[in-house]
Structure 1
Amino acid sequence: MSELSFLNHLDLSYNHLSGKIPSSTQLQSFGASDFAGNPALCGLPLSQKCWPGEQTPNQSGDGEEYRDEFWKRFYGAAGFGFVVGFLGVCGSLLLKDSWRHAYFLSLENMKDCLYVTMAVNMARLWRTFQRPG
């Protein structure tokens, strides 16, 4: 939030926030009343001072680590799902002769149906162009 530069109004009062308010020109421009009701919050514009070693929340890069972890898990799950699906289909076709024959027979029938449909439509189109105008 400390990187935002387009806010003209922000009311974070009574949200149980804690830690140091990030130092930025945008958040420093709001009044103390906008941060009221957060007793664990410190730093400007509040009068409550922070301890010297206290860090601003989420400035340590934790958000980036969570994003990286999310994408690692996402790609891992997608890869695992692909492998399981691929082996489920191909494995069943390799192991069951009757399924393999039925699958390839259905592919052959679809090819024949598509060929006949294309041949009929091409002949119909050819006849349309051959008619004298």
Structure 2
Amino acid sequence: MSELTFVNHLDLSDNHLSGKIPSSTQLQSLNASCFARNPGLCGPPLSQKCWSGEQTPNQSEASEEYGDEFWKWFYATTGFGFVVGFLGVCGSLLLKDSWRHAYFLLFDNMKNWVYITMAVNMARLQRKFQRHHFLCRA
């Protein structure tokens, strides 16, 4: 924010901001009321002085921390969901004979359908090429 230029009006009140207000001509020229009700903010134009060791929080570190935490939870819940889904499907197939037989019968029927469809289409294609070849010779 300290690199903003040509700011005419900016109201940052009630945003739970904290740390030292960055030094810049734009932010320093704003009225103190623009930063109202942010008890953690300090430095000019506010009357609250900063401690000597207090620095402006590094936003990239905070977002990196949040990003790391997000990905940890994302992978944990994705892994948990995979295990639950896998055990739900495979467990039911292992425990219930009628479901297992119906499941494999479905795949057997699908395999047969694909084989028959391909065989019929290949025969049609061969007939089409034979007719075309016959017409070209005559």
Residue 23 (structure 1) aligned with residue 22 (structure 2): yes
| 8 Å Cα contact 2:13-2:34 kept in structure 1 | yes
| 8 Å Cα contact 1:11-1:35 kept in structure 2 | no
> Match for residue 11 of structure 1?
10
The equivalences for 1:94-133 within 5 A come to: 94-131=94-131, 132-133=135-136
Residue 38 (structure 1) aligned with residue 36 (structure 2): yes
Structure 2 Cα separation of the partners of residues 51 and 21 of structure 1: 7
Structure 2 Cα separation of the partners of residues 124 and 109 of structure 1: 23
Structure 2 Cα separation of the partners of residues 128 and 6 of structure 1: 71
* CA-to-aligned-CA distance 1:13-44 (integer Å, 9 cap, x gap): 4334443344365xx43321386251533223
Task: Go from structure 1 to structure 2 and tell me whether the alpha carbon gap of 1:113 and 1:7 turns closer, same or farther (over 3 Å shift).
Answer: farther
Structure 1 Cα separation of the partners of residues 122 and 15 of structure 2: 72
| 8 Å Cα contact 1:43-1:49 kept in structure 2 | yes
| 8 Å Cα contact 2:43-2:50 kept in structure 1 | no
Name the structure where helix makes up a greater proportion of residues. 2
| C-alpha RMSD of matched pairs (Å) | 2.9
Task: Go from structure 1 to structure 2 and tell me whether the alpha carbon gap of 1:95 and 1:18 turns closer, same or farther (over 3 Å shift).
Answer: closer
The structure having more radius of gyration, on CA atoms, is: 2
| Structure 2 unaligned regions, length at least 5 | none
Structure 1 Cα separation of the partners of residues 5 and 97 of structure 2: 66
1:121 deviates by: 0.8
| Structure 1 unaligned regions, length at least 5 | none
Partner SS, residue 20 of structure 1: strand
| 8 Å Cα contact 1:14-1:36 kept in structure 2 | yes
Task: Go from structure 1 to structure 2 and tell me whether the alpha carbon gap of 1:95 and 1:85 turns closer, same or farther (over 3 Å shift).
Answer: same
Aligned length: 128
1:48 deviates by: 2.2
Letter in 2 for 1:119: A
1:56 deviates by: 2.9
